[in-house]
């Protein structure tokens, strides 16, 4: 848990994250292993901190726990906030 929290703190919004395995919600696949997802937001949740990314499969926003991330790239450019 401590490592996941440190990872969550070190990855800024706008970075690209990659999963080690596909992410499912019951029977429906939400995220694909090996694909890069842009971190759209970070939430310090009640039980654990999560990243918010957009699924290319469902076009929905998905909560992604830091422990599921296997790799990340710092944000490639400047992030603009509305």
Q: Which helix (H) or strand (E) holds 9?
A: helix 2-10
pLDDT bracket for residue 79 (50, 70, 90): low
**pLDDT single digits (tens) 6-49:** 888 899 999 999 998 999 999 899 999 999 999 999 998 777 88
CATH number of the 2-73 domain: 2.30.30
Q: Locate the domains of the chain by residue range.
A: 2-73
Q: Read off the pTM.
A: 0.84
Q: Residue 44: count other Cβ atoms within 10 Å of its Cβ.
A: 10
Expressed in angstroms, the distance from the first to the final Cα of the chain is 32
């Amino acid at each position: 848990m401590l490592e996941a929290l440190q990872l969550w703190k070190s990855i800024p919004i706008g970075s690209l994250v990659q999963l080690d395995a596909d992410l499912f919600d019951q029977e429906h696949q939400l995220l694909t292993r090996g694909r890069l997802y842009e971190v759209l937001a970070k939430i310090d949740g009640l039980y654990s901190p999560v990243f918010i990314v957009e699924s290319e499969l469902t076009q929905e926003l998905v909560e992604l726990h830091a422990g599921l991330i296997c790799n990340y790239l710092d944000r490639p450019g400047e992030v603009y906030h509305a």
